[in-house]
Amino acid sequence: MDADLVVVGAGLFGLTVAQQAVERTGAQVQIIDVRDHIGGNAYSYMDEETGAEIHKYGAHLFHTSNRRVWDYVNRFTAFTDYTHRVYTTHRGEVFPLPINLGTINQFFHAHYTPAQAQALVQEQAGELAGTDPANLNDQGISLIGRPLYEAFIKNYTAKQWQTDPSELPASIIKRLPVRFNYDNHYFKDTWEGLPKDGYTAWFERMIDDPRISVKLSTDFFDDSQPWNRDALVGQVPVVYTGPVDRYFDYQLGELKWRTVEFKERRYNEDDHFGCPVMNFSDPDVPYTRAIEFKNFNPERYDRQSHDSTVVWEEYSRFAGKGDEPYYPINTADDRSLYNQYKELAAAQPQVVFGGRLGTYAYYDMHQVINSALVAFDKQIEPLLGE
């Protein structure tokens, strides 16, 4: 093989590893991806009609408190000053999220002080106040009280997971933010923004090096092409970021994922929602949220159409074979199955498994990048020095 390292998957984990390999060891790196683009689920493209940057696999918002990650990504892109705020429609009325003092006072048509709002929530949690419930339904009530939970969380979660919240683990919303002030910033990280030139331009800069080659529309499991599993494993170091169960031909069973589908709507108006993301918490609306992409980039106002806008409605369901896996279901049975695959993965010669698919974990973008940097330090660089 002409490559010193083969990276399977051109998402953020794979791109970071490839960039580090050429910079720190001078390696020749071959990236392959079954898709026809780089960037994984963070890939974006420009919509010709509206001038909006479309996030092909749903809204991707960069935020981090990790100094190493922030310094690293700023080598390849500058960021806008975008700060994420979310709103939700409930019974024909729009409320700010996460739940904060504004949400509480609007919902109860009141003017509670922070202390009064805290006391109200505790009272409405009833016997669940201060407890540590095992399921999501009771955990939500314990955190924000029954009325707020049933209005904003219960039905949204049921749509998102296609499962009754009483059957979901409490860990899903253990850190449900509730603020007893008027702060409606969605993230609390130190740094936040969107890449000024778009996600794809950022990713292209990461691998703009003659020592990195990219082959798209190339299936690692297709033995009719040379960059396949059977030809590579044991012959050259491989970083694999695809589904871990697929790597082993599902020999222990299939891990379960949720996927999302999008339905596009176009409106002959400048702005339809007035915000980038609008959640819909009521059960009679079949989608969980709607994304109006042009509102992520108000700094591009002069380059965008003011006669049309594009909105994607997001629908959640269980993933089957052939679907794009987004979020691990992570039941106890799934975790047990993954741990068995993890043992098999550890025995693979010169193969490092990474990314959300390779490690059966949900990561934000900054977490993917950090895990790639750490994996390169601890696992991949030593392989390249052998």
Active-site annotation holder among 47, 87, 156, 179: 179
Catalytic residue among 182, 250, 301, 362: 362
Segment holding 265, helix H or strand E: strand 257-267
Q: How many CA atoms lie within 13 A of 97 on its CB side?
A: 23
Contact call for residues 6 and 238 (beta carbons, < 8 A) = yes
Which of 81, 91, 175, 249 is an active site residue?
175
Cβ atoms of residues 316 and 161 within 8 Å: yes
Pick the closest to residue 278 from 35, 6, 94 (CA basis): 94
Is 240 known to be catalytic? no
H-run or E-run covering 20: helix 12-25
- Answer whether 80's CB lies under 8 Å from 86's CB: no
Active site residue 91: no
Q: CA 82, CA 190: separation in Å to the nearest integer?
A: 13
Which entry of 240, 314, 338, 356 is annotated as an active-site residue?
314
Catalytic residue among 289, 292, 313, 360: 289
The angle formed by the CA atoms of residues 85, 89 and 92, to the nearest 5 degrees, is 145
- The Cα–Cα gap between 194 and 67 comes to 17
The total number of residues shown for the chain amounts to: 386
Q: Is 222 exposed, middle or buried (0-12, 13-18, 19+ CB in 10 A)?
A: exposed
Q: Are 238 and 14 in contact (CB under 8 A)?
A: no
Cβ distance 27 to 58 under 8 Å?
no
Residue 179 among the catalytic residues: yes
Q: Which of 258, 292, 338, 341 is catalytic?
A: 258
Nearest to 62 by CA among 71, 52, 53, 73: 73
The residues that are catalytic are 175, 179, 258, 289, 314, 362, 364
